[in-house]
């Protein structure tokens, strides 16, 4: 099967990082197809960037509609997840969504650690309906750039953050943010509970959904768009909204 690993920011290097992680998790018959939007935020770290990125991401997805068997949103806020799920003719999974659902299979409540503000993650998890499963969130005051410059400093702050959410009741911890993905094995060695990487979980959940061959909804708010008019959008995206 062919899985699109769609970054939502315009930084190719992050796309490559995620694609490599996806290939590491993919099963034998799974091909990973990386993709990067042509416009939008360079990195998504704020509410405004998350909202703006949706357009570029959905335009990118539309170009691959019909040519891939599943889509992994390689962006830690699960940007435009619900829209992509409605729009695309194949399964779509968000990386943080994937890690949170996998965490639910491992214990009672889970935690999430990230860099920067935790509030958008709290809201994302609430939108996923998983607030009752969330034990605690922690955001360290370092940036993805710091992670490149001084991975040791980031790792030790992350170790501490993970220990804190475990102390607050987390039986598993989601790593929030692509920048943390590479650190997973290193962080896991210090952690008392399993750590979850959204890219790996997302690839496996997509393999599940593709294999199950479920039909799309033909009713309700996830039914495919039909006869929706647009102005000034990319042809592929406009065509998907027009349906037919």
- Is there binding between residue 242 and a second copy (CB under 8 A)? no
Number of residues that bind a second copy (CB under 8 A): 91
8 A C-beta contact, residue 54 and residue 76: no
Q: Which residue in 1, 33, 83, 142 binds a second copy (CB under 8 A)?
A: 83
Residue with tokens 């607050």: 168
- The pair of three-digit structure tokens given for residue 94, joined into one six-digit string: 């968000």
Task: Name which position in 18, 19, 41, 140 contacts a second copy (CB under 8 A).
Answer: 41
- Spatial separation of the C-alpha atoms in residues 7 and 178, rounded to whole Å: 10
**Region near a second copy per CB under 8 A, out of 14-22, 49-57, 149-157, 175-183:** 49-57
Residues 112-141 that bind a second copy (CB under 8 A): 117-120, 122-123, 126-133
The dihedral built from the CA positions of residue 132, 85, 4 and 210, taken in this order, carries a sign that is positive
CA distances from 166 to 135, 205, 231, 235 (A): 8, 25, 49, 48
Q: Which of 31, 148, 153, 217 binds a second copy (CB under 8 A)?
A: 217
DSSP state of 133: G
Helix crossing, 198-212 with 12-25: angle to 10°? Answer: 60
> Which of the ranges 14-22, 77-85, 146-154, 174-182 carries the binding residues for a second copy, by CB under 8 A?
77-85
Q: State the minimum distance, in angstroms, from the CB of residue 243 to a second copy.
A: 10
User: Which residue in 13, 47, 67, 149 binds a second copy (CB under 8 A)?
Assistant: 47
H or E stretch at 202: helix 198-212
Q: 100 is written with which tokens?
A: 């949170």
Instruction: List the interface residues with a second copy, window 139-198 (CB under 8 A).
Output: 166, 169-172, 188, 192-194, 196
Name beta bridge partners: 74.
7
Query: Which residue of 23, 64, 186, 204 would you call a contact of a second copy, by CB under 8 A?
Result: 204
Q: Which of residues 1-20 bind a second copy (CB under 8 A)?
A: 10
């Amino acid at each position: 099967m062919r899985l699109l690993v769609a970054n939502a920011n315009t930084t190719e290097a992050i796309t490559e990082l995620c694609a490599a992680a996806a290939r590491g998790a993919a099963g034998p018959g799974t091909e990973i197809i990386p993709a990067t939007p042509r416009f939008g935020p360079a990195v998504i770290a704020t509410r405004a960037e998350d909202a703006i990125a949706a357009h570029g991401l959905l335009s990118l997805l539309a170009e691959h509609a019909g040519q891939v068997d599943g889509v992994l949103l390689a962006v830690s806020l699960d940007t435009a997840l619900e829209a992509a799920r409605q729009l695309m003719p194949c399964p779509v999974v968000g990386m943080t969504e994937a890690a949170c659902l996998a965490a639910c299979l491992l214990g009672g409540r889970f935690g999430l650690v990230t860099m920067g503000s935790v509030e958008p993650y709290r809201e994302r998890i609430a939108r996923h309906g998983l607030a009752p499963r969330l034990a605690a969130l922690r955001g360290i005051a370092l940036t993805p750039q710091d992670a490149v410059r001084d991975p040791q400093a980031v790792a030790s702050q992350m170790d501490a953050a993970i220990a804190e959410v475990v102390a607050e009741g987390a039986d598993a911890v989601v790593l929030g943010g692509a920048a943390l993905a590479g650190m997973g094995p290193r962080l896991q060695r210090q952690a008392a509970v399993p750590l979850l990487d959204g890219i790996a979980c997302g690839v496996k959940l997509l393999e599940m959904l593709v294999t199950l061959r479920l039909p799309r909804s033909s009713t309700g708010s996830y039914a495919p768009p039909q006869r929706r008019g647009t102005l000034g959008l990319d042809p592929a995206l406009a065509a998907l909204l027009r349906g037919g």
